[in-house]
A and B are shown apart, each in its own frame.
Chain A
């Protein structure tokens, strides 16, 4: 019973949505195939299977034209579709920071945003930090100070560390510790990471 009702609701709401959408000064990112599906009350499976939206994303300076389900998070898009696996999944709920990337230069948790919401923004992942073979100063400092062990939280730590300096939150060790607290490292490389950030900050190079 419940299952049928669910189906009905989904269909009803889809029709409802398309009726409204003409009234809206809205960008409805829904392909025409879905409109057809909804209007013709196709079986849920058919309709949903094609329920993707097209998105243009700029990742590490490369423009990607993609067709994705709206529910795909930026993190899963990076890892599963673009195969940029440097961005890590550690909790999938904004609780660990392993998925930290830059969006328009600001650090965010890519697990807590939908890819479709990032249209038109510049996304930088760990893969986009080095310039060719030349490591970013933060990457070099992490190696020098052994700012990691297993390496899994490392891309997130590095992306966060770069942002931490850019934001102006790396003046003291205590400030770095506070502003890096959104990046959990279970191996416990924290003191070495702080040393790495301090060195880059003191080095004064533009990050």
Chain B
């Protein structure tokens, strides 16, 4: 007997993600899902951001990691709240993991929650975790054809941070080419060339965070 079903296979993840989104909206917290390949500099960008914006914003981090708590310790060293999710080899975070993890955070008065996903440009794109926006990080050491190779990730991201621009003199990375391809996939994507190490370009990224937070609060 053939039974028509037509159910989204990831509906359970999508349902919890939608619940989380409502929950965060009620608290006025801007939630960003930070994704990249391993080593693009997500944690370094977070360390800088948490340190530089600490005087004006309350921020916390959910750290996804395959095995270790190295990143959570680095983030916690800035003074921000951090909670670790070990995926035990899993290649992406799920909404239920985030739902569980935020129980150990004090969310009162929080402005921004960063969710640092597992380093991977494919799998995390399929799993919403309650975020307002996805942010993809790409380092100039990786190759400017990444948007072409991983179209979905760039198509669904609201912002693209091109990190490690201090290395541009030493690598064959064409900023314009990468930005152009990202725009082909997503015309509205905001592109931020930065160096989390030298701090170049970070002000534009910080302004984007402030604007997105203000917009979220204004629409509440």
Pairing of A with B: no
Name A's B-contacting residues (CB within 8 A).
none
Name B's A-contacting residues (CB within 8 A).
none
